[in-house]
Structure 1
Amino acid sequence: MTATPVPTLAPRPTQRAKGRNVLAVASGKGGVGKTWFSITLTHALARANQRVLLFDGDLGLANVDIQLGLMPKYDLGSVVTGRLTLNQAAVNYPEGGFDVIAGRSGSGSLANIPLSRLQLLGDDLNLLACAYDRVVLDLGAGVEKTVRALSNNAGTILVVTTDEPTSLTDAYAFIKVTLMERPGTDIRVVVNMANSTREGERIYNTLLKACEGFLKSSPPLAGVIRRDLKVREAIRNQSPLLTRSPNSEAAADVEAIVDKLLGGR
């Protein structure tokens, strides 16, 4: 699918506090379904009548466009080099009803950009966010400086984990580093690929106990997403789950997360 540029967006009259409407999706390690969740979360927000932008902030291994089957004319690389503004790099994804700023797929060239350039990119993102109800920021895995710098622009961080011990350990590490740098950050936990809702809650409680015991922090559970073969089918077919299998269990679980998020607006 060839993406089309989005018309210039003027910020809405009501200016939001920095990052308040930016949802960053993070994980301690790769392979936990973070990008898939970012896409599905964005789609669910759009279906809830939110004006949404999906920003591929995985500067090392961007793949939002691949999962969506997009062939964007512009990407984040053009913004970093100064050839385009962030707004000019946004393209519309009609099938999902949301906008996308793609990363540079198959290239690690953005992973080592200077911290000062990242901060400018974050400032631009916060300005652009004023034109949307929500911005979903798909971060790279890990706790590298690029990930931390971009996460600083988010009002809420959703940390995705699974039942794998390494996933839980790395999710804890991300929470620890974030709270050390930004005490009081609104961090919430998403358990993905759980065998059942109850099992997902058990996995969350394992992480919660570690956070309470060592960090004196109690990040709430944003939601549990059950393991669902329909997810793999959607990714393989480069189609959003809510388009291909809107009645699947995983789709319902993500929509429940959105209901909870929008409950607090």
Structure 2
Amino acid sequence: MNAIPAASPFSEAEPRTAGPVVAVASGKGGVGKTVVATSLARAFSRVGERVLLVDADLGMANVDVQLGLNPPGDIATVIAGTMTLSEAIAPAAGGSEKKGGFDVISGRSGSAALASLELASVNNLAAGLAAASMSYDRTILDLAAGADRATVRLAVAADDVVVVISDEPTSLTDAYAFVKTLRMRDEGASPFVVVNNAPDKAAAEGAYRTFARTCESFLGFTPPLAGIVRRDPNVGLAIRAQSLLGVRSPSTAAAKDIETLAWRLAEGVEERGRA
């Protein structure tokens, strides 16, 4: 397949200090990773940040569907050089110039070509996304579930990684596999952990302790817990309505948990930046 052009169309951003890039990952699908990513984008925007959300699931993208967007282009058209970054952006909740809104670069679902990008193309994509972050206060990458080469490469390029888990054993096992692969690429990586869809605090803390002990025993580090997002029927209702959780149900338990999570992640990114 064709490689991404060396002069990436992502590089049109005006020179400035890049805002942090946060990759949201998971070991397996179905743990609510995309809901966390979209809700974080809104939460950061609500405190005055200009936010770009990139659907970086290169094979099974769904951010545009969850948010009810009709994007003019997607990451594939930008990679191919047939559309510029600014032309492909779709505004969500009013776009990045509005408090609570943000910009979205959509992915393309079911694209075998994108899912099997050659390493050189993935490297160019990572560099392009870094360039795009120059125009925003924060860029959020909604990665594919699992630990394939492209997903891990994009995670390594991010300033911070958030691993979303649930209290299901398969989620913990697959999340560990992702973190292990990430640490093989970057031995200093210490991703944040978010326990999503938690039935109660005790179950969430138990899931985190199990995951943390496994990382301690076999990888020699303890991933920090960034937050717990409680199980909330309003999440499913928001997805079916193709709406942001914070717009449809701003006072619900999960929406409040996401607001707290965003604050903790912002504090963690700043601390690591000073380290």
TM-score norm. by structure 2 comes to 0.88
Equivalent position to 1:164, from 165, 168, 171: 168
After superposition, the C-alpha distances for 1:105-163 in whole angstroms (9 at most, x for unaligned) are 34333101211111111111101101111100000011111111211220100000101
Cα distance in 2 between the residues matched to 1:107 and 1:180: 27
Cα distance in 2 between the residues matched to 1:121 and 1:106: 19
Equivalent position to 1:193, from 191, 197, 212: 197
Q: Which residue is equivalent to 2:82?
A: 83
- Whether the 8 Å contact between 1:40 and 1:240 is mirrored in structure 2 is yes
Which stretch shows the higher mean deviation, 232-241 or 149-158? 149-158
Structure 2 unaligned blocks of 5 or more: 1-11, 95-99, 271-275
Deviation (angstroms), 1:50: 1.0
1:140 aligns with 2:139: no
Q: Which residue is equivalent to 1:130?
A: 134
Change (3 A) 1:150 1:86: farther
Deviation (angstroms), 1:198: 2.8
Structure 1 unaligned blocks of 5 or more: 1-7
Cα distance in 2 between the residues matched to 1:241 and 1:103: 21
Cα distance in 1 between the residues matched to 2:148 and 2:173: 16
Q: Which residue is equivalent to 1:68?
A: 67
Q: Which residue is equivalent to 1:263?
A: 267
- Whether the 8 Å contact between 2:72 and 2:87 is mirrored in structure 1 is no
Cα distance in 2 between the residues matched to 1:83 and 1:219: 41
Q: Which residue is equivalent to 2:187?
A: 183
Q: SS of the counterpart of 2:208?
A: helix
Q: SS of the counterpart of 2:69?
A: coil
Cα distance in 1 between the residues matched to 2:148 and 2:43: 29
1:174 is matched by which residue type in structure 2? F
Deviation (angstroms), 1:223: 0.4
Cα distance in 1 between the residues matched to 2:231 and 2:112: 30
Equivalent position to 1:229, from 217, 222, 233: 233
2:92 is matched by which residue type in structure 1? Y
Cα distance in 2 between the residues matched to 1:94 and 1:29: 28
Alpha carbon RMSD of aligned pairs, Å? 1.5
Cα distance in 2 between the residues matched to 1:79 and 1:217: 38
1:239 is matched by which residue type in structure 2? S
Cα distance in 2 between the residues matched to 1:260 and 1:80: 33
Tell me the matched-pair count.
253
Q: Which residue is equivalent to 1:29?
A: 28
The structure richer in helix per residue is 2
Cα distance in 2 between the residues matched to 1:194 and 1:162: 7
- Whether the 8 Å contact between 1:11 and 1:128 is mirrored in structure 2 is no
Cα distance in 2 between the residues matched to 1:183 and 1:87: 35
Q: Which residue is equivalent to 1:38?
A: 37
After superposition, the C-alpha distances for 1:27-70 in whole angstroms (9 at most, x for unaligned) are 01111111111101111111111110000000010000000000
Q: SS of the counterpart of 1:26?
A: strand
Q: SS of the counterpart of 1:129?
A: helix
Q: SS of the counterpart of 1:190?
A: strand
Cα distance in 2 between the residues matched to 1:53 and 1:62: 16
Deviation (angstroms), 1:87: 4.2
Cα distance in 1 between the residues matched to 2:121 and 2:152: 14
Equivalent position to 1:10, from 14, 22, 25: 14
Cα distance in 2 between the residues matched to 1:120 and 1:215: 30
Q: Which residue is equivalent to 1:245?
A: 249
Moved over 4 A (4+): none
Cα distance in 2 between the residues matched to 1:197 and 1:131: 38
2:64 is matched by which residue type in structure 1? D
1:94 aligns with 2:98: no
2:224 is matched by which residue type in structure 1? P
Cα distance in 1 between the residues matched to 2:15 and 2:90: 17
